[in-house]
C-alpha cells in the first residue's frame, strides 16, 4: 500500500479505479482535457496543491504531458511531485485498439511498475497524518448536507463557497472536504454559511 498525504491526480476514472486498491490517500480525476475548461476543478486542485501538495500521475503520451504541464502552470510546480510511468506498449483490456501512440495508460500498467514509479518519485514513505476526527458521511447528514429535502441546495451552496465543482458526488465531497479542512472547520464553515436559515 502506498501512503501519502499528497492528493494524487490522474486523468480518468479507470486510472483512479486502478490506484484505489494501491493508494491510501485522496485520488482526483481531471477528466482528461476537461480540466482545461473546468474552473471549479482548477480552483479545487489549486486549494489541494496549496494545502497538501499534489502527486501528478498521467499517461506517458503527449496528452498526458500536456495535462501535466497545465497542472504545473495553475498549481505552481513547487506544489507538485511528478510520478512518471515508463513507455510500455500495448492496449488496455477494456479497449478494442491501442491508443494513438500505442502506449499503455496508467490503467494498463502493472501494479509493480506503478509502485516503482511512486517510489522513484519519493512517494510512499511519507508519514500519513491521521486526523483525530475525520469528516464522515454522518457529518454531512448532521449538517443537513445529505438525507434531507434541502440537502442538495445546501451542498451546492457549500461547494460554491469553497470553489469546489458542483457535480461532486457525496462520497467525493467527503474525501475532498477531509483533505481541505478539519471536522471542526467544516462545522464552523457550515454554521456561518447556513446561520440565516
Specify the pLDDT at position 149: 92
Neighbouring C-beta atoms of residue 1, cutoff 10 Å: 9
For residues 33 and 165, the answer to whether their CB atoms sit within 8 Å is no
172 to each of 27, 28, 44, how far by Cα in Å?
9, 9, 12
pTM of the model: 0.76
- 113-165 residue pLDDT tens: 999 899 888 887 544 455 568 899 999 999 999 999 999 999 989 988 887 77
Strand partners, 54: 7, 80
108 to each of 16, 90, 91, 114, 117, how far by Cα in Å?
12, 8, 7, 10, 14
Specify the pLDDT at position 96: 80
Element spanning 74, H or E: helix 62-75
- 122-132 residue pLDDT tens: 887 544 455 56
Neighbouring C-beta atoms of residue 138, cutoff 10 Å: 11
Domain boundaries, the chain: 2-120, 137-194
Specify the pLDDT at position 131: 55
What DSSP assignment string belongs to 103-171?
B--GGGS-HHHHHHHHHHTT-BBSPPPPPSS---HHHHHHTTSSSSTTHHHHHHHHHHHTT--TT--HH
Angstrom distance (rounded) from CA 81 to CA 123:
8
Q: Where does 2-120 sit in CATH, by number?
A: 3.40.1360.10
Amino acid at each position: 500500500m502506498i501512503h501519502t498525504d499528497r492528493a494524487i491526480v490522474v486523468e480518468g476514472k479507470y486510472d483512479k479505479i486502478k490506484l484505489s486498491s494501491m493508494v491510501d490517500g485522496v485520488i482526483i480525476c481531471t477528466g482528461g482535457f476537461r480540466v482545461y475548461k473546468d474552473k471549479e476543478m482548477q480552483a479545487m486542485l489549486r486549494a489541494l496543491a496549496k494545502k497538501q501538495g499534489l502527486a501528478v500521475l498521467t499517461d506517458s503520451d503527449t496528452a498526458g504531458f500536456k495535462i501535466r504541464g497545465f497542472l504545473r502552470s495553475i498549481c505552481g510546480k513547487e506544489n507538485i511531485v511528478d510520478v512518471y510511468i515508463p513507455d510500455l506498449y500495448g492496449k488496455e483490456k477494456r479497449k478494442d485498439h491501442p491508443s494513438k501512440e500505442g502506449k499503455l495508460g496508467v490503467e494498463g500498467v502493472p501494479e509493480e511498475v506503478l509502485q516503482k514509479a511512486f517510489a522513484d518519485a519519493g512517494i510512499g514513505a511519507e508519514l500519513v497524518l491521521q486526523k483525530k476526527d475525520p469528516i464522515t458521511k454522518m457529518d454531512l447528514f448532521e449538517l443537513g448536507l445529505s438525507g434531507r429535502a434541502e440537502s442538495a441546495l445546501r451542498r451546492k451552496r457549500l461547494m460554491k463557497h469553497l470553489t469546489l465543482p458542483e457535480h461532486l458526488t457525496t462520497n467525493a465531497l467527503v474525501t475532498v472536504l477531509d483533505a481541505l479542512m478539519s471536522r471542526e472547520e467544516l462545522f464552523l464553515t457550515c454554521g456561518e454559511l447556513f446561520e440565516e436559515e
